[in-house]
Structure 1
Amino acid sequence: MLPRYKYKNGEFILIRNKKSSTNIALSFIFGMAVASTSATVQADDNTSHQQIKAIISSTYDKPDHKVETTPIAVIDDYAVADWTQGQRGGRALLHRSNGKWIIMACGADGLKEVKTLTEAGIPDQTAKSLVTQLTSAEKSVSPDRLKQFSLFGTKDDPAAHEHHHHQ
């Protein structure tokens, strides 16, 4: 059914029958439900991101070298967070258990491989979504910082060249 208009007081006014008013009301309610759900998911992601940054910082920050944790991909109860600390960098794999994020492992590029994530116990679809989300988020990262995420645990990791004194 095509909409009908009438001209009144210098403007066109849409004439609605009961059916179209009901459809508009239902569309509005559905739209509000979608917007509300979207806002809730975004709020949950923001909360997760803050919790993940806090756990990584409290675990690894040093007075003269704070950890910068971003970007972070979160799917369900799993996350992969990119981090840098001075010249070092890598990725952390996290799992949410009883509402708290726990660091499962630190690594480099392996934490962007679906196979590695599924071997760590992450469901296949969740692993694929994490890799997709992180890859997309990393597109906004500078090339130099992106290289740092690949260093952890490799021969190029600055920590691999530090001299440790034995006592």
Structure 2
Amino acid sequence: MPQIASRLSPTHTATLAHINPEGVYDPAPNGYTHVVVAPAAGRTVYASGQGGENLAGELSPDFAEQLAQALANMRTVLEAAGASVHDVVRLTLLVVDHTEARLALWTEAARRVWGDAPTPGCTLIPVPRLALDGMLVEVEATAVVTTAQA
């Protein structure tokens, strides 16, 4: 029997189902859920990849700082579209020079963003470089805002 966590986000009137089926390992320690099922009635928000640039376009040389800024940028662009981090169903995380230490930093950051709520589905892709010199991480999000919210 799969583990299914359905929840109402602060803005949802319909639920997202987060599923971690038996037969695969528990992804929670790595900050993601295996499957997220979103309601069909709603609006899909596709947020472009957000890097760790601050408002002035500057990048910290520190991975953890860039990751925190990228997640803050993601929150800002989602809110501009009427979505929240709790509406995110899928993330793509691009990491330059990926290591397990950077994975641990991602896990900590995801816990700060989602707290005890279920996390989105996520794929972490190690890459040799990103669009800008010095850019170490990029976070792309897909969110579903239910019709009642829209």
TM-score (norm 1): 0.25
Larger radius of gyration: 1
Higher strand residue share: 2
Highest RCO, 1 vs 2 (Cα 8 Å, sep ≥ 6): 2
Higher helix residue share: 1
TM-score (norm 2): 0.27
